[in-house]
Amino acid sequence: MATQDDRRSPLTTETGAPVGDNQHTETAGPGGPLLVQDQQLFEKLARFNRERIPERIVHARGAGAYGTFTATRDVSRWTRAAFLSRVGKETEVFARFSTVAGNLGAADAVRDPRGFSLKFYTEEGNYDLVGNNTPVFFIKDPSKFPDFIHTQKRDPYTGSQEPDNVWDFFGLSPETTHQVVWLFGDRGIPASYRHMNGYGSHTYQWNNAAGEAFWVKYHFTTDQGIATLTSEEAAVLAGRDPDSHQRDLREAIERGEYPSWTVRVQIIPAAEAAGIRFNPFDLTKVWPHADHPLIEIGRLELDRNPENVFAEVEQSAFSPAHFVPGIGPSPDKMLQGRLFAYGDAHRYRVGVNADQLPVNRPHATEARTYGRDGRLYDGRHAGAANYEPNSSGGPAETGQPLWAATRVSGPTGNHAAPPHREDDDFVQAGNLYRLMPPDEQERLVTNLAGSIAAVSADRDDIVERAVRNFRRADAGLGDLLATAVKQRRGR
């Protein structure tokens, strides 16, 4: 935890109460789920969701398409989800791809993670899988998310993204190192949305008909092959065609070249999670494939463009809290924070009835709720009872939970996650660097050096912290980066 410098005034809530811990979310024991009583977290997330209108705070710039998920493996031993229940079963899907930091008018061909969001219109309701094109993320606790995004957005004084802010946060948050290596490597700028992988990124729970629970990670491997752009190629393309990725997806589907992805999962029995090398609920970590092999379960194909971008892409609303029977959350802190934040953002941005819009409402079943009124309400319930329980034959609870219970223990409080034997912020970042061929390593150093060298001349402390984190991941990477940055800064 960061220490309080006596020269700095204490951080407070919006109402002036001092904040004791701004780095760790309050949980039920060190490894348990988040607590609603952590109002510092919910105040930060709720306020963050309302900072811009009407476009999305993050992932504003995007493109979408409809398609089909086809199950190719019997996974009933792990989950009772109906859309995964038999080989050959098809489920309609809407996909949205996006950049993260740019606004609605930003260029597509930039160095940025890509959102990879899917809405499965299943017969048991909609299931949303809201991921990225990287298997990890920058941070592991949702309390840090608004602060992180502020460093990526426009500075309140200059109105531009500032390298000082970016690298100050990265250097003071070593957990970002793994994702930063991904971002500044070759895959940091996909050539198109069709030529990138997708990942659920978070850990989710699957549970079967017998009540057994499993932890799962999703992988979507592009059947078109990985294709990327160099920084130089991207700069030219972004200037020539800011809509390059959106245009590529739309025109490929119009030509009948339907993009597809092979869907695989990694699975860990819930009882084994505590004993594995890395914390399985840490979003800054991957599960090594040698330990937990990929299992193919299906195929995703996109074959229909939206008729209206605003109605179907801009108003599409995804939330990781949209589960179906057999699938549920895990104690992943970032996921737990997103369970609240995404739905709250859509209620603010689109309206409390966002899920009644055609792109968002269930297609294979009917939503039966007691929600009424508000912006966009279409009066579908007429004069039916708007409360429950009632004696007028309205919908009633099933008594059947969607997912298996998770055991928790320990005192409430602001906890760091319980450590696993190989947990640190640098091992996997170093492993990723050493997996790269020499030419990609060279491009990584060039990309990082170019960004770090842009830090203000009087902020060598920011530069030194950034380089030190990469040196802890791999000594050779750190040495090469230090030399490259010094050369660019003329030191």
Question: 346 and 319 in contact (C-beta within 8 Å)?
Answer: yes
| pLDDT at 1 exceeding the cut of 60 | no
Q: Which amino acid is at 105?
A: G
Residue reference for tokens 């940055």:
485
| pLDDT at 6 exceeding the cut of 60 | no
Residue 51 has what pLDDT?
67
With b for 16 or more beta-carbon neighbours within 10 A and e for fewer, the 378-405 pattern comes to eeebeeeeeeeeeeeebeeeeeeebbbe
For the chain, what percent of residues have pLDDT higher than 70? 97
Cα gap 270→289, rounded to integer Å = 18
Which tens digit of pLDDT belongs to each residue from 397-411? 888 888 898 888 889
Average pLDDT (255-275) is 96
pLDDT band at 3 (very low <50, low <70, confident <90, very high): very low
pLDDT band at 2 (very low <50, low <70, confident <90, very high): very low
Cα gap 250→246, rounded to integer Å = 6
Q: Please indicate whether residue 259 or residue 1 has the higher confidence score (pLDDT).
A: 259
Residue 52 has what pLDDT?
57
- The yes-or-no answer on residue 353 being catalytic is no
Phi, psi angle pair for 304, to nearest 5°: -145, 130
Q: Please indicate whether residue 18 or residue 431 has the higher confidence score (pLDDT).
A: 431
Which tens digit of pLDDT belongs to each residue from 129-165? 999 999 999 999 999 999 999 999 999 999 999 999 9
pTM score, whole prediction: 0.90
Residue 194 has what pLDDT?
98
Which tens digit of pLDDT belongs to each residue from 196-223? 999 999 999 999 999 999 999 999 999 9
Closest CA to 281 of 114, 434, 415, 127: 415
Residues facing 220 on adjacent strands? 198, 263
Cα gap 69→265, rounded to integer Å = 14
Which pair of tokens denotes residue 298?
Answer: 């299906």
Residue 76 has what pLDDT?
96
Cα gap 224→335, rounded to integer Å = 29
Residue 37 has what pLDDT?
79
Cα gap 177→137, rounded to integer Å = 10
Structural domains in the chain, CATH included, are 42-154+193-365 (2.40.180.10)
Average pLDDT (167-191) is 97
Question: 354 and 376 in contact (C-beta within 8 Å)?
Answer: yes
pLDDT band at 90 (very low <50, low <70, confident <90, very high): very high
Residue 481 has what pLDDT?
98
- The yes-or-no answer on residue 133 being catalytic is no
| pLDDT at 431 exceeding the cut of 80 | yes
Question: 477 and 426 in contact (C-beta within 8 Å)?
Answer: no
Which residue is catalytic, options 24, 49, 59, 469? 59
Which tens digit of pLDDT belongs to each residue from 317-332? 999 999 999 999 999 9
Cα gap 22→3, rounded to integer Å = 11
With b for 16 or more beta-carbon neighbours within 10 A and e for fewer, the 80-94 pattern comes to bbbbbbeeebebbbb
Range from 289-303, 327-341, 355-369 carrying the lowest mean pLDDT: 355-369
Average pLDDT (299-325) is 95
Which residues fall within 8 angstroms of residue 201, CB to CB, at 6 or more apart?
Answer: 131, 132, 134, 135, 136, 137, 217, 283
Which residue is catalytic, options 49, 126, 132, 414? 132
- What 3-state class would DSSP assign to 371? coil
Which tens digit of pLDDT belongs to each residue from 361-372? 999 888 888 888
Residues facing 117 on adjacent strands? 96, 130
Which pair of tokens denotes residue 477?
Answer: 């990477």
Query: Strand locations in 270-326, DSSP E?
Result: 295-304
